[in-house]
Amino acid sequence: MARRKRRRKRSRSRSRPVPAPAPGRAPAKSKDEIAREQLEPLREGERPLAVTIAAIVAALIALSNMVGWIAGIEVDNQSFSAGEVLPPVIVMVVAAVGMWYSRYWAVLGFEAILAILIVIIAIALTTASNVLAVVVSVAIIGAAGTLFWFLVKSLARIQMPERSPR
């Protein structure tokens, strides 16, 4: 019975005509439209600072993984094979190069990696067994979250390329 009343209310509200703006007045701009107007598109060859930092971070992650693997570093007495090390290294190198050239897809992909990292570290934080683990986890979440935030702002300036009509 209650569902029918809700449906009736919804259908009534949908059928009402939207009032036209008063004559001589322009419709108010939304916050999104105002924010878009304030954005400056990137100049040729320009790269936002956050994107540059993210490219360097991705390159350092790839480099540290390769150096660790070549040096034979073990984690919990376990060494890693090339099949376990090379795919993440390749992803980080591709992300670093793509972000260095201010590619939309690279910044968006790196943001997805950061989001996954933040979630994984937050889950791991629930099982931290000592103060050092808590401090390191909070530091990683803070750094990744800050970089994520500034990449979102930078991504707004890097316009996704227009698709050509078929």
- Span 85-107, pLDDT tens digits: 999 999 999 999 999 998 999 99
Q: Evaluate whether 74 touches 68 at the Cβ level (below 8 Å).
A: no
State the pLDDT at residue 140. Answer: 95
The predicted model gives 105-122 an average pLDDT of: 96
pLDDT tier at 31 (50, 70, 90 boundaries)? confident
Residue 118 identity (one-letter amino acid):
I
Give residue 62's identity as a one-letter amino acid code.
A
Helix (H, G, I), strand (E, B) or coil at 166: coil
For residues 66 and 140, give the distance between their C-alpha atoms in angstroms, rounded to a whole number. Answer: 21
Mean confidence (pLDDT) of the chain: 83
- Model confidence pTM above 0.75: no
Mean predicted confidence (pLDDT) in 64-69: 93
Residue whose structure tokens are 């007495």: 77
Nearest to 70 by CA among 90, 85, 87, 56: 85
